Structure 1
Amino acid sequence: MTTPVKAFIFDLGMVLIDWNPYHLYRQLFDNDADIHTFLTTICTMDWNEEQDMGRPIKEGTELLVAQYPEHEANIRAYYGRWDEMLGGPIAGTVEIFNSLKASGQYKLYALSNWSAETFGIAQERYGFLNEFDGVVISGVEKTRKPFPDFYQILLNRYQLQPAECLFIDDNLRNVLAARELGIDSIHFVGAENLAEELGNRNITL
Structure 2
Amino acid sequence: MIKNIIFDFGDVFINLDKEATYRELYRLGVEEISEKMIQVYYDYEKGLISTNDFVDYFHNEFAIEKEDLVKAWNAILLDFPLERLDFLKELVASNKYRLFLLSNTNDLHISWIQKDWGMDLYNEFKNCFEQFYLSHEIQMRKPNTDIYEFVLKKNNLIPSETIFIDDTLENTDAAEKLGIKTWTINRVEDNVVDLLNREEFLV
* TM norm structure 2: 0.76
- Alignment partners' CA distance in 1, 2:192 and 2:146: 26
| Cα distance change, pair 100–158 in 1 and its aligned pair in 2 (3 A) | same
2:42 paired with 1:64? no
- Alignment partners' CA distance in 2, 1:95 and 1:40: 41
2:44 paired with 1:51? yes
| Cα distance change, pair 116–155 in 1 and its aligned pair in 2 (3 A) | farther
Retained in 2: the 8 A contact 1:116–1:138?
A: no
- Alignment partners' CA distance in 1, 2:200 and 2:178: 22
Corresponding residue pairs, total: 193
> What's the CA shift string for 1:138-184, capped at 9, x where partnerless?
11111110111111221122111111110000111111111111111
- Alignment partners' CA distance in 2, 1:183 and 1:80: 36
Q: Give matches, 1:42-121, under 5 Å.
A: 47-54=40-47, 55-69=49-63, 72-73=64-65, 76-79=67-70, 85-116=76-107, 118-119=109-110
For 1:100, what is the secondary structure of its paired residue?
helix
> What's the CA shift string for 1:26-46, capped at 9, x where partnerless?
8x79xxxx56x9586279665
Alignment correspondent of 1:143: 140
- Alignment partners' CA distance in 2, 1:158 and 1:25: 37
Identical positions, percent: 25
For the aligned residues, what is the CA RMSD? 3.4
- Alignment partners' CA distance in 1, 2:54 and 2:138: 18
| Cα distance change, pair 101–44 in 1 and its aligned pair in 2 (3 A) | farther
| Cα distance change, pair 80–21 in 1 and its aligned pair in 2 (3 A) | same
Alignment correspondent of 1:188: 185
Q: 1:166 aligns with which of 163, 183, 193?
A: 163
For 2:79, what is the secondary structure of its paired residue?
strand
For 1:111, what is the secondary structure of its paired residue?
strand
For 2:15, what is the secondary structure of its paired residue?
strand
- Alignment partners' CA distance in 1, 2:158 and 2:147: 15
| Cα distance change, pair 150–50 in 1 and its aligned pair in 2 (3 A) | same
Retained in 2: the 8 A contact 1:143–1:150?
A: yes
Give, in angstroms, the shift of residue 22 of structure 1. Answer: 6.5
- Alignment partners' CA distance in 1, 2:126 and 2:175: 22
- Alignment partners' CA distance in 2, 1:18 and 1:39: 26
Instruction: Specify every segment of 5 or more residues in structure 1 that has no aligned partner in the other structure, as ranges.
Output: none
- Alignment partners' CA distance in 2, 1:143 and 1:179: 18
* TM norm structure 1: 0.75
